[in-house]
Structure 1
Amino acid sequence: MKSVVSGAVLLSAVCLSQGASAADLGRPYTKAPPAPVVFSWTGFYAGVHGGYGWTDPTATFDPGALATGTIPGYVVTGGTGPFSLDVSPKGGFGGGQFGYNWQSGTFVYGLEADVSGAAIRETASRPFSVTGTIGGDNGAFTGVFNLKQEIDVFGTVRGRLGFAANNLLIYGTGGFAWGHVKNSIFTSNLATDNIANFNGFFPALTRSSSSSDFQVGYSVGGGFEWAFDPRWTFKAEYIYIDLGKSNTTLSFPGASFSDTEVQLHTAKGGINYRF
């Protein structure tokens, strides 16, 4: 009897085990989800950019000093007094950049160099008049004083330090900057009622002075970069560039342009390819 009971128990256990196995075989197999891929900013990159820049130099001019410094014996009796003239060069630029990033945890360290061709320029003008006497005769003239500045190429070499949230990088940047700056001051549109009163000196009142220099300084700013693809990123940034004071003093009788710092503000967007 005991053997019969033991056999029944064993048979029940085997049947239960086979039923469970059959139930398991009937369930669909579910694959474990893949581990999330963490984006890495480490590596070389290169790209192109475009943007807009602006600055604001100043020149001074004294029309009476132009007359007395050019025409011997001329005595100023009236006209436009000394004044300052401001110009606000602005315009677009475009170029390329390359660099390298190192990522450690959520921090990204980098080095980037860029160069841009630019059309940042403007001419400011202001009319003037001078009345006076020369050799006992009256002599009056009018004209326009002009200040022009142009930045046609500039570049930077900067370090970058940022915080990465996977494929989004927010960073600050700063370093060396250089630029080619052209300045000029000049008179134009001169006119007089009686040229004879100037005894041949009137044409000499058309004066100009110009410079074309490479200037160096520093750059500082910040921005963000977004990787919309494993190989491609979009960036937007603001960079302030200080190229120091003009290397050359421009002057002629009554006019001067010196000790004016070139302070360039730039806002740009760009595309990078990651190697």
Structure 2
Amino acid sequence: MKKFLLATVVLAALGAASPALGADMGARPYYSKAPAYAAPLYNWTGFYLGAHIGGAFSSSNTFNGLVLSDHSARLLGGVQAGADYQFAPNWVVGAEGQYSWLGDNNLNAIFPNGFVYNHDQRAIASITGRVGYTWGPGMLYVKGGYAYSNNRDTLTFGGVPVAFTLDKNHSNGYTVGAGLEYMFAPNWSAKAEYMYYDFGTTRFVTPVALAPFGTFHNDEHTLKVGVNYRFNFAAPIAARY
């Protein structure tokens, strides 16, 4: 009986001490999950300014079989400005204005009757809309719209300037193109693009001695590379996985 009472007292004492021992050992540690990986998403929405350089290539032109001398490959350089809006979320729409200065005169015609015509195309410009598909830092796009040609046309006979008229103003036309743009640093992107410019066909109305020689076509194929600085509307956001 004494042994039974002694065992009961010991068990009761151990039970009373258990909470204190648990407190001394401290709470069970909690292991949190590792931070989720955040992948940057690139923001194409915003305004941008930039510059470009490249080459312009004219088609071979004739006045009713009369071969013209032209500079079929010329250096060009210029500036651009535009705005983009990203939606849906891989699509981008925008508008852009470009102005490109051209080197060299691109067309000279010496007619058999002694007249000499010079078409000096000094610059080409455009206002276009564009639609692009983006995958983060890269974007493929197509574009098209209004084109302008800064021309200075002259006609001489025996070295003396002669008044003349053409059937239409070949300063206004259209352009279409496509390109690739890539964000290589925060707020900076580089691009490469092809653009075709068409300003229609032109014929002489006066002097009447040139009217039988028909028309020549005014167009340009261009290749450009450039860089843009982007004023994004918001900082890039992060996607969590």
Give the TM-score range, shorter chain: 0.7 to 0.9
1:4 is aligned to: 10
| Distance in structure 2 (CA, Å) of the matches to 1:58 and 1:209 | 22
| Distance in structure 1 (CA, Å) of the matches to 2:181 and 2:191 | 4
Displacement of 1:160: 0.9
* 1:5 counterpart SS class: helix
TM-score w.r.t. length of structure 2: 0.72
Q: Deviations over 1:51-84 (max 9, x none)?
A: 1101122124xxxxxxxxxxxxxxxxxxxxxx52
Alignment RMSD (CA, Å): 3.9
Q: Deviations over 1:172-208 (max 9, x none)?
A: 1111111023455768xxxxxxxxxxxxxxx79x997
| Distance in structure 1 (CA, Å) of the matches to 2:33 and 2:148 | 60
Q: Does the CA-based 8 Å contact 1:215-1:246 persist in structure 2?
A: no
1:200 is aligned to: none
Q: Does the CA-based 8 Å contact 2:203-2:211 persist in structure 1?
A: no
**Structure-2 change in CA distance of 1:255 and 1:51 (3 Å):** same
2:191 is aligned to: 235
How many positions carry a matched residue from both structures?
Answer: 220
2:42 is aligned to: 39
TM-score w.r.t. length of structure 1: 0.64
- Unaligned residue ranges in structure 2 (runs of 5+): 1-6, 232-241
Output the amino acid matched with 2:146.
Answer: F
2:130 is aligned to: 160
| Distance in structure 2 (CA, Å) of the matches to 1:101 and 1:52 | 26
Q: Deviations over 1:213-251 (max 9, x none)?
A: 651111101101111122111111100011112375475
Structure 1 residue corresponding to 2:220, chosen from 264, 270, 273: 264
Q: Does the CA-based 8 Å contact 1:215-1:247 persist in structure 2?
A: no
Q: Does the CA-based 8 Å contact 1:59-1:255 persist in structure 2?
A: no
Identity across matched positions, percent: 25
Q: Does the CA-based 8 Å contact 2:155-2:163 persist in structure 1?
A: yes
1:191 is aligned to: none
User: Is 1:102 matched up with 2:85?
Assistant: yes
**Structure-2 change in CA distance of 1:41 and 1:12 (3 Å):** same
- Unaligned residue ranges in structure 1 (runs of 5+): 61-82, 129-142, 188-202
Displacement of 1:50: 1.4
Q: Does the CA-based 8 Å contact 1:174-1:221 persist in structure 2?
A: yes
| Distance in structure 1 (CA, Å) of the matches to 2:137 and 2:225 | 17
